[in-house]
Amino acid sequence: MKRRQDSERGKDKISVSGVSLRMVIGIEDWERKDKQEILVGYEFECDCSEAGKTDDIKDAVDYKIVNKKVLELQKLTDIKTIERLSQLITDVILEDPKILSTTVHVTKMGALRWSDSVTVQITRP
């Protein structure tokens, strides 16, 4: 079995999908009257090798804590765009120093006539 080179470390990914936020979001007054469901998915790059060896959460990214921080964002009421929400989500994910980069998908249902949804995807190092 070939060993990974140091330059390949940190290429592991953890993905979380189907996170449902209920929040006030939108630019139009009618959008801001009631909470809407926003679907979030994200993945982040990290090095899982130590946690894989030790089986100890202290050596891993605790994605339960990361997800709690993402869920806390639904309490905000001043967000107008899913682009802004996407950036805020990346900010809280990247607070963990073990996370090297992240890609976030934020989907708003019924954002456009004649479509099911609109999704913004952003990647940040």
Residue 74: DSSP 8-state: G
The pLDDT value recorded for residue 115 is 85
The tens digit of pLDDT for each residue in 89-125 reads: 999 999 999 999 999 999 999 888 888 999 999 999 9
Contact 94, 102 (CB under 8 A): yes
Residue 9's contacts (CB-CB under 8 Å, 6 or more residues apart) are: 47, 49
What is this structure's pTM? 0.89
Do residues 107 and 118 make contact, with C-beta atoms less than 8 angstroms apart? yes
Task: Assess whether pLDDT exceeds 80 at residue 30.
Answer: yes
All domains of the chain, ordered by start, with CATH?
Answer: 6-124 (3.30.1130.10)
Helix 82-93 crosses helix 63-72 at what angle (to 10 degrees)? 150
pLDDT tens digits, one per residue of 68-90: 999 999 999 999 999 999 999 99
Cα gap 21→34, rounded to integer Å: 13
